Amino acid sequence: MKTLRTTSENQDFQKLVKQLDAYLAVIDGEDHGFYDQYNKIDSLKNCIVIFDNDEAVACGAIKAFDEKSMEVKRMFTLPEKRGKGLASAILKELEIWTKELGYEKTILETGKRQTEAVALYEKCGYKVIPNYGQYSGVENSICFEKQL
């Protein structure tokens, strides 16, 4: 396994995000359009891609949310590679990068229907917080934070 820090210009990152978007279109159903507008990747400067034998198999990113927080975005692992700790490894690397950039915590939003994602964040020490920003009042959203 190899971990690469990159930007959203990386083609392997872009390919994984396309697969993530296709997956979310099914999971989110009629809510997909709402969420999709907040998941553009054109300006992400802090992205992670994990490779297994030169194949991009998992990704994630962070972006500044406020002066203390980085928001975790675009977390995805190929379905056939799940259950091997890749998502946890990406989160850990994103948390390290967040601290290196001088931020104190990570925050994120996921859908309540994404039960695997919710379980991952809880397992990795994230705590549920009130829905923030555009997710305030959105019934299907669940927001988390982790102090670093």
Give tens-digit pLDDT for 92-130.
999 999 999 999 999 999 988 889 999 999 999 999 999
pLDDT recorded at residue 41 = 66
Query: What gap in Å lies between CA 72 and CA 52, rounded to an integer?
Result: 22
User: What are the CA-CA distances from residue 79 to residues 66, 84, 101, 112 (Å)?
Assistant: 32, 11, 31, 19
pLDDT recorded at residue 32 = 47
pLDDT recorded at residue 134 = 87
pLDDT band at 138; cut points 50, 70, 90: confident
- Tokens linked to 123: 């397992």
Only one residue has tokens 């991952």, namely 120
pLDDT recorded at residue 6 = 97
Query: What gap in Å lies between CA 45 and CA 18, rounded to an integer?
Result: 18
Please report, as a single letter, which amino acid is at residue 111. Answer: G
SS3 of residue 78 by DSSP = coil
Average pLDDT over residues 77-84: 95
The pLDDT tens digits of the residues spanning 21-74 come to: 887 777 655 654 555 555 566 779 999 999 999 999 999 999 999 999 999 999
Average pLDDT over residues 8-17: 95
Strand partners, 4: 49
